[in-house]
Structure 1
Amino acid sequence: MSDLSWLTARPIAHRGLHDLNKTRWENTLSAFSAAVKHNYAIECDVHLTSDFVPVVIHDDDLKRLAGQDGFVWQRTTAEMQQLRIGGTADHAPTLDEMLKLVAGRVPLVIELKGTPGRDEGLVAAVGERLKKYDGKAAIMSFDHWLIRDFSKFAPGIPGGLTAYGKENRLIEAHFSMLAHDLAFTSYAAGDLPNPFVSFVRKKLKMPVITWTVRDQPALELSYKYGDQITFEGFRPEVPVA
């Protein structure tokens, strides 16, 4: 396994360093700029547009973030760029715009959001861009069908499982994904500890980051049973290099 110490070296700003969508909204260039300024790693989300371009946005439905009816997969890249996020001046950036802005200054953890029947080519599109990117970056997903494509379409890029839960059926499903060359996992902080996280950390020496840390109990669970936090709503200290 390649060295992933950079993945856990500093706290990870969930969807960038936003202010809980008051004036600086999630997954915008403004939130990413703020994260870089404060030396946090960045977590972000990507969907695929109708013209097969990865765009940085969390929801597939446009209503909450852009006040529009419809879905990301129904819009072209040009149409997505016309949308204003939360009524601010920020648009929904393409992954290319985000990568150009960050330019390797802090690590990236990119979550691929699957939409069954509408996401063919997403892994390949992200992998193609990261192959040319001069910086530390990893990809991850909840969606098992996307993870199965990581090694084929994004070779050499650390791939992770985004996961939650303590129920046996969920834990068993997580274990099944270890057959697909996982490099790390991102686990719900409130579902720690559990057998899957304990196994991958202790037996496989696989890094575990947690999501989404917003309070002291989640912070304490994360640092007791995981290796780094994905946070929002406060500013944790960044280790001095």
Structure 2
Amino acid sequence: MKDLSWLTAQPIAHRGYHDLNHTIWENTLSAFSRAADNGFAIECDLQYTADSVPVVFHDDDMLRLCGIKGDIREKTAGELGMVAIGGTADKVPTLGQLLRLVKGRVPIVLELKGRRGDDEGFADAVLETLESYDGPVALMSFDHWLLKDLKALNAPYPVGLTAGGINPEEFAVHEEAMQLGLDFISYFYRDLPNSFITKQQSVGRAIITWTVRDQDAVERTFKYADQMTFEGFDPNERPIA
């Protein structure tokens, strides 16, 4: 099993260290800069543009974050680079812009947001963008076909499953993904503990949780997992209950 002590060494800022989209919005260069400056690892979401460029954005639709209707995948990276996030000076960043900003200062955990039947070349484009990057990176996804693509391409980074659930049917699906030879799991904190995660821990797989917003979630994380993906509070202080 790979040594992933760097992945679990510090709290991971969910979509960057934003302030719940008041003045510093999620998945923006401002949120990533704030995370790196405070020594927190960065978790963020990747989408795939019309011109085959990985960009950092969570939703399929642009309305919540940009105030305009439209499918993120129907835009080019250049077009998105002119679209304001939350009316701020931040625009939709590319993965390349994120990497140039962070410069290896803190770990980056990239979650690929898949769309079945529309992801050809996505994993390859992410790996190509990362090729010259010198810093700790992990890749993960809910979407098993993207995990298969990453492993088929011999991704030289830890690859993990993003998941949740507490019933045997869900565990069977997760077990199928783990047969790809995945390195870690990001699991919904409220679904811990469970037999699937206990089994994975017994063979040394790192477990991080999502998304921690209160003290109960902090305590559950550090009782049953290795590190938290947090938002809405300073991990050096007690979160709001």
TM tier, smaller: over 0.9
Aligned residues: 237
* Equivalent AA in structure 2 for residue 83 of structure 1: V
Specify which structure has the higher proportion of helix.
1
* Equivalent AA in structure 2 for residue 12 of structure 1: I
* Equivalent AA in structure 2 for residue 176 of structure 1: E
When the two structures are superposed, what TM-score results if normalisation uses the length of structure 1?
A: 0.96
State whether structure 2 residue 117 is matched by structure 1 residue 99. Answer: no
* Equivalent AA in structure 1 for residue 60 of structure 2: D
Corresponding residue SS for 1:89: coil
Offset at residue 196 of structure 1 (A): 1.1
Q: 1:185 matched to which residue of 2?
A: 185
Corresponding residue SS for 2:151: helix
Alpha-carbon separation, structure 1, partners of 2:59 and 2:137: 22
Alpha-carbon separation, structure 2, partners of 1:181 and 1:150: 11
Please identify, of 166-175 and 29-38, the stretch whose mean Cα deviation from structure 2 is larger: 166-175
Q: Deviations over 1:24-47 (max 9, x none)?
A: 000000000000110000000000
Structure 1 segments (4+ residues) deviating >6 Å: none
Q: Deviations over 1:91-138 (max 9, x none)?
A: 010000000000000000000000122221111111112232100000
Q: 2:64 matched to which residue of 1?
A: 64
Q: 1:157 matched to which residue of 2?
A: 157
Offset at residue 55 of structure 1 (A): 0.3
Alpha-carbon separation, structure 2, partners of 1:158 and 1:53: 21
Question: Percent identity of the aligned residues?
Answer: 54
In the alignment, is the contact (CA less than 8 A) between 1:123 and 1:154 conserved in 2? no
In the alignment, is the contact (CA less than 8 A) between 1:127 and 1:157 conserved in 2? no
In the alignment, is the contact (CA less than 8 A) between 1:54 and 1:126 conserved in 2? yes
Corresponding residue SS for 1:181: coil
Offset at residue 154 of structure 1 (A): 4.8
When the two structures are superposed, what TM-score results if normalisation uses the length of structure 2?
A: 0.96
State whether structure 2 residue 214 is matched by structure 1 residue 215. Answer: yes
Structure 1: tracts of 5 or more residues without a match: none
Corresponding residue SS for 1:148: helix
Q: Deviations over 1:6-60 (max 9, x none)?
A: 0000000000000000000000000000001100000000000000000000111
Structure 2: tracts of 5 or more residues without a match: none
* Equivalent AA in structure 1 for residue 146 of structure 2: L
Alpha-carbon separation, structure 1, partners of 2:68 and 2:112: 22
